[in-house]
Structure 1
Amino acid sequence: MRLVFAGTPEVALPSLQAIADSAHELVGVVTRPDAPAGRGRRLTPSPVAQLAEELGVPVLKPEHPRDPDFQEALRALEPDCCPVVAYGALLPQSALDLAPLGWVNLHFSCLPAWRGAAPVQHAIWAGDEVTGATTFRIVKEMDAGPAFGVMTERIRPTDTAGDLLARLADGGAGLLVATLDGLADGSIEARPQQPEGLSYAPKITVEDAQVDWTEPAVGVDRRIRACTPAPGAWTTYAGTRVKLGPVTLSSERLEPGALRVGKAEVLVGTATEAVRLGEVKAFGARQVAAADWARGLRLPPEGERFGE
């Protein structure tokens, strides 16, 4: 088949590479426009655009996929199907109609669970034991189109959103190519999503990522892992924001937010057991082990608190 791939961030790269290596003909790539990046805020092509250029594939960067010029350029590429991974823009029906076999999305959950922008983060935060990835045909309603295939992946107790998403991106690339193969030879059929198990995964904001020390330790742990690496879990110390890496549970008991500083560890109280901090990043400083952070501030063994 003639394929035009749509995607933007790094998580889409395994699928783009797998499609380029497949028996299908990759005739174009659609991605978001160049965006400011780095300390100099220089306009930088998306990861997908950079890989597409290395592959020698034409790249389209519309401000919005409803733009007539973009749709004309897409029509000229004559795609049979458009696979999509984390493109990041709403596709109008006029664009969806340009591919006879539709736009096939790879979504990182077992639909209909966790429809929306942050399925991996919400699966970790909710304490799910298993998640996965689903291929489906894009329709007007968000992540509601008929599904082609699914893969599952166990969520490990120490998984961050970044860890889990990396595994799903690699495994999902194979699922996406298998779906495209099935569409090409007519061996696969889309089936409507079942209503049971429907849930939504809206984007997680910086405000959502603030740790609530009055939650149980397991809730604190899940929130931090779900928000790692983005948007980054945080709390405040002495009125200044501090970013936190993943924690581990301890058997100690402390008041919520209370710090206990040892030579090699820093504990923080929650509604249940205390948690042991991993890495800490103060504003304007590099990320360091929690004990080094406490040592640098000369924190006393007891009496200090987070969240004040």
Structure 2
Amino acid sequence: MTLDPEIAAWVDAFPAPDVDPRDVVAVRAIYADYMADRGGPQPLMSHPDVRLESAQINGIDVLIWSPLHPAPGTPVVIALHGGAFVVGHPLGAERIAVPLAAQHGVITVSVAYRLSPEHRAPAALDDAMAVLTGIVGIETDRVAIHGSSAGACIAAGIALRARDGGIPLALQSLSCPVVDPRAMHSTDPEHSAHGLSPTLSREAVIAAWEHYLGDALADPPTYSAPAFADHVEGVAPAHVVVAEYDVLRDEGIAYAWRLSAAGVPTTVERFGGTVHGFDGLLPTSSVSQRSIGSQVEALARALLD
């Protein structure tokens, strides 16, 4: 495994904690320590031309990044944070939200969706859908969806549900997506070879699905495990980012191939020497900046062209 030098230095400095991923209390304690180390739940990025505010849309708490003086009908990205369905914060979207607003005049709405296992699927997806329906046709008709890791699962589910509900989306932007609860039980040697990521284990992915789906692992609620969709024709165009050393890499590529085979305009970007969640863990690295820039540009093109 040959990691990008900046990513390798981060991995060496912050080794993965020794925790049972099925122990939600322990996982959340580690996440709380991480948030405390960064000064609590406060933004790390700012720009003089970007405003950040908290709000509610259809009763769901959100964070909104917007230009200082947005015009009526300004395009919107709805963002879903990662965190294995059990942790995470809407501030996780800031790395795309700030440049989207500052450089392209696009609003980002990041959703504080309900977490598992207290609120299993489809609760998170329902929250995201409530936000979507509170925006489309009311604030703007130009909307895209973005998600990272577990958030990408929710985003892909929203793309399917929006298609079936007749709601147009400009793009589904999926970063290091997890979409198939069956994938980690595969005996495919590729899954073993790329399960060496120091930031995400196969066991952690299995635990995340168990927290999210509970007893419905074999028959997930509609849209909650996008790979279970009967067909993907007609969903929003997709931009998929995968990391070379991520246990989810092949799963993300397989879903992108399925979309493309169904006639969905799809682009896949694979970033060499990277690990799961790299552009959120170390957003200042050169490779992370390329990834973030690629996602921002894809969203802006889809919404503004």
Q: Structure 2 length normalisation: TM-score? A: 0.35
Give 1 or 2: higher strand fraction.
1
> Higher relative contact order at CA 8 Å, sep ≥6: structure 1 or structure 2?
2
Report which of the two structures shows the higher radius of gyration computed on alpha carbons.
Answer: 1
Tell me the TM-score normalized by structure 1.
Answer: 0.34
Q: Which has the higher helix share?
A: 2
